[in-house]
Structure 1
Amino acid sequence: MIDFWIAAGLLLLVALAFLLLPILRGRKTQAEEDRTALNVALYQERLAELTAQQAAGLLTDDQLEAGRADAARELLDDTEGSEAQRHDRLGRAVPLIAALLVPLLGYGLYLHWGASDKVELARQFGEQPRSIEEMTVRLERAVEAQPDSAEGWYFLGRTYMNQERPADAAKAFARVVELAGRQPELLGQWAQALYFARGRQWSAELQALTDEALRADPQEVTSLGLLGIAAFEEGRFQDAIGFWERLVATLPAEDPSREAIKGGIARAREQLGDAAPPAQISATPEAAAVRLQIEVDLAPALEKEVRPDDSVFIFARAVSGPAIPLAAKRLTVAELPAAVTLGDADAMMPQLKMSNYPEVTLVARISRQGNATKGEWVGQSEALKTAEGDKTVRLTIDQPDTP
């Protein structure tokens, strides 16, 4: 924030210069007052000389009056303009008090209404975090500064889960659901965090959350996995097998979690005395992987409005689905125009692949502060059908980014 304080200091110096100007000019005013007093004294001395000469008979009455008029005229000429300056003085106390109160008052108002926290937060997000703890602190500050950011709360919840802080994650996901709506993916994440926060104890609340998620999306992977875990730990091995088989049928073939889930199914079968190999698990045909070729460029009219090191975020978002991006990549303005690829391999979460949604929109956002959720300029595509396979989309950043 050093640049901010330098600018504030310069503005303060300018303000103080205006306030202290009367004091700096005080000596000049005093000198003018001294000169006026001297002129008056000389005038009086001149009158005394004229009177003495008239008494000695050296001057007539007419000559005396003419001499007095000349002396008065000279006095007026010497003191002209002094009175206006004397009336304009504020005194020394008023500027000094104002010079002390203005910066104190301005600083207090800035602390109350200013955005120093957001300025510092934007600077921090422009740098790579050195640890997961540092990233957590940044996300906490981000949601504190922007409490209505569903994306910020979501990523904070995921970070808490990675740090094995399910109680904090549950609060974050509850806030996401409040902001973004009761979407099945979010309900599953919320239920999972609550389950681990409560010591792996199943409850009617968790059942209601997973049931609601699966009614909206029968293939919601977090809910299926969680129901399988809860059933296995309660000894309901057949139910666990059923949930996990549905989960395996949903996951893409390259998903690394498939083998772990198949291992869980095998253990559940062993508990039932069923030696059927995991390879016999039925599966429905999986959706073909989606991959979009995107040509991102900047409108010529904006070339003078951006900086080479401004961040450029390119992401895909479901037309009907979660508010969070499905896949994203980050560039800088210096790299534009650029050709990038977004697809299932770039999914931000395994269960949120582009191939799971019929339509997506592509967005490219320029953010000087390095904030993926808010920037200065943006470009957006029309709704694109993911079932049409590989395609090339041209995306031009040409519009102001409005909230």
Structure 2
Amino acid sequence: MTEFWLGAGLLLVAALGFLLIPTLRGHRQQQEEDRTALNVALYQERVAELSGQAQAGVLDAEQLQQGRAEAARELLADTASAEPGAQRKLGIAVPVALAVVLPLAALALYLHFGAADQVRLTQEFAQPPATMAQMTERLERAVQAQPDSAESLYFLGRAYMADQRPADAAKVYARAVALAGRQPELLGQWAQALYFAHDKQWSPQLQALTDEALQSDPNEVTSLGLLGIAAFEGQRYQEAIDFWQRLLAQLPAQDSSRAALQGGIDRAADKLRAGGATPEVKVGLKVRVELAAALKGKVRAEDTVFIFARASQGPGMPLAAKRVTVAQLPIDVVLSDADAMVAQMKLSDAGQVQLVARVSRSGQPTQGEWIGQSAPVASDTQATQHLIIDSPDS
């Protein structure tokens, strides 16, 4: 990199000397303008050629830098040995404009071609890491190269948590929140890191972070899981069950963490029974949704699918709903009070409900192209209900 800066610096000094000194001395005639322009054009052509060779893999980053430095030195030598030629006067505007443009152009070339460390880091990320420690080290270097990247900080925080370094994770999550704003997922991750960094001691700061996250997104999974853990550790077992059931309702049927989460709910329920209390476990309606084979060529993978339960008698407003896409079908979901559209209208309070699955290309829940509906079923039915989307939505 030193050779590049030396060559670029010398080039800028020479250019400024040729452009500004004559102007400051009273606009004396400029010499060798045509030849200088030709030399600059040849220099730019050489830089472009070297860049093309680097992209093709012929040159590595170090060879690319050396080649650009050599081209800069050749340009200086050609300019210094130039013979007097055609002369004409330049106004002050042109030299001053070029004096500003040339440094900016040099900076642009460096930013585009000169970040060799970032190029090497990108090449490393193309190869899978051998260990978790290697992945963490790569992410640390990525953050050093791009300290203002909230995405890099987020993934580094996840790596620190996996490596049992919650205090370090809390620091990078705080930086990510400062850069990206108070997004619910970042707030939840930050709160979780702080909780484990302080030996599972709950604090007003953690309560404020999780409250803020759930206020923005009631289904923010990290906050729900953390609040369940804190409630269990505080022997508030019914609260733990409630939080974990809300989290369970968000997880796909094939998610590997469902078994561990259900185990936590069962342990909390056992604790309540051991203390003489009866746990309130709300399982919800289990629904499997499929798309009729005849419709597979008539829908798009990105089309929205709304799955909801509505009262068999009364208003048609959904009591609980989930949103997926056609690409996710077939899918198993659980509809529960955690999926309520309005807090005062709960699925558990309904007697019988109808299950509906609607494909909506516009993304509007009240209108779509295709639909599947069930016969009325009890809201506390334990058996999995099957829905097939097979009819036009009138």
TM-score, with structure 1 as normaliser: 0.46
Look at both structures and tell me which one has the larger radius of gyration over its CA atoms.
1
TM-score, with structure 2 as normaliser: 0.47
